[in-house]
Amino acid sequence: MAALLVPTLALYADGTNINQSLSYEQPEIYRANELSVDAFGTASENEYTLEHLGVSSPQTTKKNTQWGAGAGVNYFATHYLGIGGEGYWQNDHDQPFVHSASGNLLLRLPLGQSGFAPYAMGGGGHQFDGGKYWFGQAGGGLEYRFCANVGLFIDARMVWPDETKMYGVARAGLRFSF
C-alpha cells in the first residue's frame, strides 16, 4: 500500500490541487464564429373580414391559419450577435415553391451552460405568392441545446407587409451547429 501512496503523493508535492487535476473543461454550448442550419415547421395566422353576409348581419372576422415547412442558416460572429436567412413553403394553393424568404439580425442571451438561450430577431424579406410584397418583421424565441451541436428552437414574430394586413408566424424545429 505504501508503494502506491508514495508515488501518488509525489505527483502532488508541488502543491497542485488534486480536484483541479481531475476536473475537465466542459465545451461551450453557444460559441462565437458559429454556423448553424435549421429545419422547421411553420404556422402563420392572419385574419380577414367577411362583409355583407346577410341583410342584418354585421361584419365578421375570420382567422386563417396556414401550415408549412422551411430551412434556414445562421452565423454568430460573437456569442450574442448573429445574422440569419431562411425560406419556407406553406400549404397555399397555386403558389411558388418558396412562399417567403427573409433575413434577420439575431441577438441571443445564452444562460450559462444550461443549454437555454432566449433570442430576439428583426429584419425583413419578400413574399412570393399573392401580392408578391416586401415585409419587415420582429419577434423572439427560445433555443435549447442538448449538446454543443444539436438543439430545438421555437419562436414567433409579427410581420408587417407593405401591401396587406400584418400577420404572425410561429416556427418550431431542429438546429444543427458547427
Does residue 103 surpass a pLDDT of 90?
yes
> How far from each other are the two terminal CA atoms of the chain, in whole angstroms?
48
Assess if CATH 1.10.443.10 describes domain 31-177: no
Task: Tell me the domain boundaries of the chain.
Answer: 31-177
Band (132; pLDDT cuts 50, 70, 90) = confident
Does residue 50 surpass a pLDDT of 50?
no
In this prediction, residue 93 carries a pLDDT of 61
Q: Cα dihedral angle (143, 145, 146, 151), rounded to 10 degrees?
A: 70
Sign of CA dihedral 29, 33, 150, 120: positive
In this prediction, residue 97 carries a pLDDT of 73
- Whether this prediction's pTM lies above 0.85 is answered by no
Rounded (to 5) percent helix, strand, coil in the chain: 10, 55, 35
Distance CA 30, CA 24 (A): 18
